[in-house]
Structure 1
């Protein structure tokens, strides 16, 4: 009756989500696309719940005219991605979600995660909980979920573990890791080009999420002394968001078996009482470990756009300690962030830290 009523009056008397879904399915059966779109629009205007959103995700496989419900399906994906964007906070609840829900969440660029390593760890945890048989798990990970993990932004230490993870078919994991390493080896401008090319597609493996810990590129040397060169890129908007007292941390990197990190700060210059940009190097592990490190901070500078050394020194690290400079560029924050700043090249601040065990 509701469907007939719509065909004569373009209105429906039912307003409940269950009633609208029933009418939508009947309209699909009789190929009344206009009624399906009408029901879809009314359902989108209602408050969603995780259960209703998951139900809407199933519609394209349940109806003949899937395009009529696509806006509703898209809205359900956005709802789930927004509700569960903090993976750490909702991890136990998310473990029970079906595959379609997990795919909707992982496709988001706005996940609140420490790093892509955390996304990988969660996907493995979910797959092991949902698919107890190894072959089933390998199939789901390889054919459905791997494309939502942005392997190029994982740390090299975690990528090594991917290669030996039995949950992935070895050929699949080898291909994923190789692709990630090739991306890491690209110049920054080429990485941005690849990310921009994929931003308009469903495959977003080269698109960076807003990680709590910023990805770094690391080059390691064993001889003549143990050394690593670390590259950290920060976008202009990331730096702007640090004002007036914020800080952003890099992913961990390793030298001599010890974990280190870089942190960029907006500080108050203690002598001149103005805000400025600071850079610090810290040791990750707390404890009794102690060894000396020669370090040097550098930044690419216009007009040559080459790296120019800013500070160097030697510091005896113990666990949990850090060394750095509150005003790396010896200028006020306003000059650092100005449109004619010497330090932003195509909107990106390029920092380099060299560490050598002394």
Structure 2
């Protein structure tokens, strides 16, 4: 029967048995080699790294060096090389002497004439694998095997003969402290450090030796420390092996949440966000609470960021298509911006066309279907509205016999409730005959300043001295029929930056408008319509 390696570390403690000859059946021989981060190297097992940022920079340098070595035809031996050695059975015979807690050995001489000399595996001859020192500790194969699939396989498959009592691990200097902490944890369920750089080293080596309980414990300790942008980005950049992804998911989720909360106002932090790497951008764009003017602004930011980070067209198109465009909610973009999506040379034309088509089909869909798509766990991220500063609209445009458009604005009951006593909600801009307009919903006093009520206004964006005369009509769906009923109509000559409308659209006080039996909320949504016609300019 296979053991359960995922069990938490809350079981019995075997701390008394760690490195004890009396409770051990094997000797673990640990060879420490120089590696690319040799003795005194900055970041070795957290040494020399004064911060998470130092640890991240050191790790990045190591990965770049390994990549260069690979490109040059070099390669390193896996840091966790295992050798099984046959030793005499009397290795564990009592000698009457107190066992040494940690056996430090000098590295064997690298001879010129066999033995420990030349090896047919060229990787063993690399300077970076010169053994600097050796540590030997007493271990219980049962205790290690119970916590680690790595050791379970080693002791069940690799040491079948009774006289094979020694196992050798080869690690780099940067892993030494972390490995000792890991072995101690397997026995005791505890770590002796809360230093973030060392915890990260322990987390990495726990993944190599498949000690899920230690990975989970490191994740918990790191989550309890203050989060910074640097640490959050580092946690998102950890290796994505299956075991680590499962054990460290709470840590990566916390990192994503931190970034999404810190940078939810993209406008405020735009310069800083432009320097955040891809994993961090993905975390930010996944958030429903992103505070942006509209989804148009999200799309514009994505294009600006990817052009700055990926100068090569092929790479830029790949990142957009596979990583970033799926996070843009095209269904809430304006038709004006969707046209620009189709013309963008950075995008794959087929993917851009599909995204725009899906967005237009969503806009044309019935409201109940739209709500179902936003609520479905499989499609919610694609269709859920963010915390837009300007509310999305549905707009239908006509050219004949006059320039005309119909704009539909839906407001949830909760949004209306938050307007009291003097709040405002602005819609996204929409265009008619080349001019930009917007709607704004208000909680204001009526004309006589007697009571609060709901008002709706139409405004034109600043456009110099342009003068446009607009016939407009406001309507709202009412119960029980659900049909739109006209509430106010008029005409106005706009000169830019002006707004016109009605302070008490429904001719009732605010409490009556918000009442449970209000005629104007259908399934918790207020449906407004504004019809604009330009007959002269």
Q: TM-score range by the shorter chain?
A: over 0.9
Deviations 1:94-149 (A, max 9, x none): 11111111101100000010000000000000000011011111111011110000
Correspondence for 2:423: 246
When the two chains are superposed, the root-mean-square deviation of aligned CA atoms in Å is 1.3
Is the contact between residue 258 and residue 285 of structure 1 (CA under 8 Å) also seen in structure 2? no
Mean CA deviation greater in 116-125 or 52-61:
52-61
Counterpart check, 1:136 vs 2:322: no
TM, length-normalised to structure 2: 0.65
CA distance in 2, matches of 1:293, 1:278: 19
Is the contact between residue 28 and residue 63 of structure 1 (CA under 8 Å) also seen in structure 2? no
For 1:268-287, what aligned pairs fall within 5 Å after superposition?
A: 268-271=445-448, 273-287=450-464
Unaligned 5+ runs, structure 2? 1-179
Is the contact between residue 374 and residue 380 of structure 2 (CA under 8 Å) also seen in structure 1? no
Counterpart check, 1:310 vs 2:487: yes
Correspondence for 2:134: none
Pair 76,202 (structure 1): closer, same or farther in 2 beyond 3 Å = farther
Identify which of 221, 224, 237 aligns with 1:58. Answer: 237
Deviations 1:314-338 (A, max 9, x none): 1111111111011100111111111
Identify which of 105, 117, 123 aligns with 2:302. Answer: 123
Q: Secondary structure at the match of 2:248?
A: helix
Counterpart check, 1:82 vs 2:261: yes
Is the contact between residue 212 and residue 243 of structure 2 (CA under 8 Å) also seen in structure 1? no
Is the contact between residue 406 and residue 531 of structure 2 (CA under 8 Å) also seen in structure 1? yes
CA distance in 2, matches of 1:73, 1:316: 55
1:63 is displaced (CA, Å) by 7.1
For 1:101-250, what aligned pairs fall within 5 Å after superposition?
A: 101-197=280-376, 200-201=377-378, 204-250=381-427
Is the contact between residue 60 and residue 70 of structure 1 (CA under 8 Å) also seen in structure 2? no
CA distance in 2, matches of 1:144, 1:321: 42
Identify which of 197, 220, 226 aligns with 1:18. Answer: 197
Counterpart check, 1:32 vs 2:207: no
1:205 is displaced (CA, Å) by 1.2
Is the contact between residue 462 and residue 497 of structure 2 (CA under 8 Å) also seen in structure 1? yes
Q: Secondary structure at the match of 2:420?
A: coil
1:223 is displaced (CA, Å) by 1.1
Deviations 1:299-352 (A, max 9, x none): 000011110000011111111111101110011111111111111101100000
CA distance in 2, matches of 1:48, 1:91: 20
User: Considering only CA atoms, is the larger Rg found in Structure 1 or Structure 2?
Assistant: 2
Deviations 1:267-317 (A, max 9, x none): 012415211110000011242111211110000000111100000111111
Deviations 1:160-179 (A, max 9, x none): 00000001011111111111
Correspondence for 2:508: 331
Unaligned 5+ runs, structure 1? none
1:202 is displaced (CA, Å) by 7.5
Identify which of 242, 256, 270 aligns with 2:433. Answer: 256
TM, length-normalised to structure 1: 0.97
CA distance in 2, matches of 1:130, 1:272: 55
CA distance in 1, matches of 2:256, 2:194: 23
For 1:92-103, what aligned pairs fall within 5 Å after superposition?
A: 92-103=271-282
CA distance in 2, matches of 1:33, 1:228: 60
Q: Secondary structure at the match of 1:205?
A: helix
1:60 is displaced (CA, Å) by 4.4
